[in-house]
């Protein structure tokens, strides 16, 4: 019998399109179950996928349902790309903190927007996990939904389900660094460890030799300085709008120069883990999410792509040629990982798994993104030892925030949400923390069933 893959949140059509293209390239016979709670989005996704299957003439049987419980039984793999509330909710996660003077460039993971997103993602994904445990307990269970760390931690804490979180950030930044020094990716090996969206490349090697000196030399060249003057040169940047010529992601490079490790996933994501360093959204003379990393542009782009795919799905025309090519992006690890598990190949991937000792000085059970071997035993992290204390400090404070927001989301506790906002550090007073929490809870009430009916305290 052909194995069945179930895709939950299939209405995220960009992801679905990329994942299905990857699947089709394997040439394998399989069943593909598409699930979304939004009937329209599901219809578009199904249309698009059927067109792709047909164009390829692939031995893939497609099913679609609004109810995941229809399709989960018998699943070999469950892949989740859920985004509760969609782009409309995302907009509110950004807009409401702005009223309190808090500007952020992404809002899917960290800072108040990320915390707000966690509150609505957690109950939804815990419910998915409970269904997986009941209906297909042996299925491989992958999550792509954000905030990754909080979602995976909440699922494990509430249900014990063995969910594996995946993100293309680390391989993407490996490619970025490879290009930076002009070396083929295949010749590089690295260790990247941390939290999803703040994963530190602590080791980076070219043919077995430390490649950081190559990186440092190239960085010095672009900055027009000596390698041992990089920090001083970078410090001068930052003062105002004078972004360095020929150097994107200056914040990430500054972190690299200071910590000796490079952050995935570059400035747009990494900077959200350092809210103390961007008061009022300050980023090299610009404002985060406004005139740099514009949130409006991101949302509009998402809406536009969704419209395009809707048209393609519904049109009688054949599929554009590029729809079956490899598109890169979020989906890109999961098909390869399933293959590595099925064939016992033992390849190494970047995965989000609970800490059971792989990093000695990060808290047990925290969901860490680090190298893991994929074979028929599943995904098993590599023991990495401890991190230098300064690097660890960038992570442990964030893990504490995640633990607090997970408890807030699971318990429906406004006080814990306020405490998470205080620990997160973007708010500038106890009163602001409380008001911001109230504003976000009110704006998202429809997606926060766990808070409904809770008496307000004080």
Interface pick for its own copies out of 138, 182, 186, 239 (rule CB under 8 A): 239
DSSP for 355-366 reads: -SSSBTTS-TT-
Select the span of 15-23, 89-97, 134-142, 356-364 touching its own copies (CB under 8 A): 356-364
Based on CB atoms, which residue is closest to its own copies, 107 or 371?
Answer: 371
**Beta carbon of residue 119, minimum distance to its own copies (angstroms, whole number):** 14
For its own copies, what does the binding mask look like between residues 104 and 133, x meaning CB under 8 A?
------------------------------
DSSP state of 453: T
Interface pick for its own copies out of 160, 213, 346, 449 (rule CB under 8 A): 346
Under the binding rule (CB under 8 A), the answer on residue 338 touching its own copies is: no
Interface pick for its own copies out of 264, 392, 409, 448 (rule CB under 8 A): 392
For its own copies, what does the binding mask look like between residues 269 and 308, x meaning CB under 8 A?
-----xxxx-x--x--------------------------
**Beta carbon of residue 371, minimum distance to its own copies (angstroms, whole number):** 9
Under the binding rule (CB under 8 A), the answer on residue 45 touching its own copies is: no
- 95: Cβ contacts below 8 Å, ≥ 6 apart: none
| Three-state DSSP class for residue 260 | coil
- 196: Cβ contacts below 8 Å, ≥ 6 apart: 109, 146, 147, 148, 149, 165, 167, 169, 352, 367, 369
**Beta carbon of residue 451, minimum distance to its own copies (angstroms, whole number):** 16
For its own copies, what does the binding mask look like between residues 182 and 221, x meaning CB under 8 A?
-------x-x-----------x-x-xxx------------
Select the span of 87-95, 114-122, 123-131, 224-232 touching its own copies (CB under 8 A): 224-232
Site for its own copies in 357-376 (CB under 8 A): 357-358, 360-361, 363, 373, 375-376
Under the binding rule (CB under 8 A), the answer on residue 2 touching its own copies is: no
Site for its own copies in 317-336 (CB under 8 A): none
Number of other CB atoms surrounding residue 411 within 10 Å: 14
**Beta carbon of residue 336, minimum distance to its own copies (angstroms, whole number):** 15
Number of other CB atoms surrounding residue 324 within 10 Å: 17
Q: Tell me the pairing of strands 60-65 and 30-35.
A: parallel
Report the C-alpha gap between 147 and 294 in whole angstroms: 19
Q: How far is CA 440 from the centre of its chain?
A: 22
Site for its own copies in 129-168 (CB under 8 A): none
Interface pick for its own copies out of 92, 180, 425, 443 (rule CB under 8 A): 425
Select the span of 62-70, 130-138, 167-175, 415-423 touching its own copies (CB under 8 A): 415-423
Backbone angles phi, psi at 124, to 5 degrees: -65, -45
Report the C-alpha gap between 85 and 83 in whole angstroms: 6
Diameter over CA atoms, the chain: 63
DSSP for 155-221 reads: HHHHH----EE--SHHHHHHHHHHHHHT--GGGEEEEEEEETTEEEEEEEEETTEE-HHHHHHHHHH
**Beta carbon of residue 178, minimum distance to its own copies (angstroms, whole number):** 15
Interface pick for its own copies out of 138, 228, 317, 322 (rule CB under 8 A): 228
Under the binding rule (CB under 8 A), the answer on residue 450 touching its own copies is: no
Report the C-alpha gap between 291 and 310 in whole angstroms: 29
Under the binding rule (CB under 8 A), the answer on residue 350 touching its own copies is: no
Number of other CB atoms surrounding residue 364 within 10 Å: 9
Q: How many residues bind its own copies (CB under 8 A)?
A: 87
């Amino acid at each position: 019998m052909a194995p069945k893959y179930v895709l939950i949140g299939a209405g995220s059509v960009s992801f679905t399109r990329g994942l299905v293209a990857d699947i089709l390239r394997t040439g394998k016979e399989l069943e593909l179950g598409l699930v979304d709670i939004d009937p329209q989005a599901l219809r578009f996704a199904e249309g698009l996928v059927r067109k792709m299957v047909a164009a390829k003439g692939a031995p893939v049987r497609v099913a679609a349902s609004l109810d995941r419980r229809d399709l989960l039984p018998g699943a070999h793999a469950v892949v989740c790309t859920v985004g509760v509330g969609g782009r409309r909710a995302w907009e509110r996660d950004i807009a409401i903190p702005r009223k309190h003077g808090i500007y952020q460039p992404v809002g899917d993971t960290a800072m108040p927007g990320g915390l707000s997103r966690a509150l609505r993602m957690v109950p939804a994904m815990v419910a998915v996990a409970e269904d997986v445990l009941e209906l297909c307990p042996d299925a491989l269970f992958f999550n792509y939904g954000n905030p990754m760390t909080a979602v995976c931690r909440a699922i494990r804490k509430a249900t014990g389900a063995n969910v594996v979180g995946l993100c293309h950030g680390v391989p993407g930044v490996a490619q970025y660094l490879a290009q930076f020094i002009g070396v083929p990716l295949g010749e590089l090996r690295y260790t990247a460890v941390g939290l999803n969206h703040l994963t530190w490349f602590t080791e980076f090697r070219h043919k077995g030799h430390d490649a950081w000196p190559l990186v440092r030399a190239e960085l010095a060249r672009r900055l027009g300085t000596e390698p041992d003057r990089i920090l001083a040169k970078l410090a001068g940047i930052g003062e105002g709008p004078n972004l360095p010529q020929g150097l994107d992601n200056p914040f990430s490079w500054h972190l690299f120069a200071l910590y000796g490790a490079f952050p995935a996933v570059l400035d747009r994501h990494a900077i959200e883990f350092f809210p103390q360093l961007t008061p009022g959204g300050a980023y090299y003379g610009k404002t985060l999410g406004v005139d740099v990393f514009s949130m409006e542009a991101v949302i509009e782009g998402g809406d536009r792509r969704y419209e395009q795919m809707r048209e393609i799905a519904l049109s009688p025309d054949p599929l554009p040629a590029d729809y079956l090519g490899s598109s890169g992006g979020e989906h890109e690890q999961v098909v390869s990982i399933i293959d590595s598990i099925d064939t016992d190949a033992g390849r190494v991937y970047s995965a989000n798994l609970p800490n059971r000792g792989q990093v000695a000085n990060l808290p047990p059970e925290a969901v860490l993104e680090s190298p893991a071997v994929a074979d028929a035993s599943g995904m098993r992290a590599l023991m990495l030892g401890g991190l230098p204390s300064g690097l660890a400090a960038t992570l442990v404070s964030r893990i504490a925030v995640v633990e607090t927001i997970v408890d807030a989301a699971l318990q429906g506790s406004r006080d814990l949400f306020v405490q998470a906002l205080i620990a997160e550090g973007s708010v500038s007073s106890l009163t602001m923390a409380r008001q911001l929490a109230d504003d976000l809870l009110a704006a998202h009430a429809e997606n926060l069933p766990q808070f409904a009916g809770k008496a307000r305290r004080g």
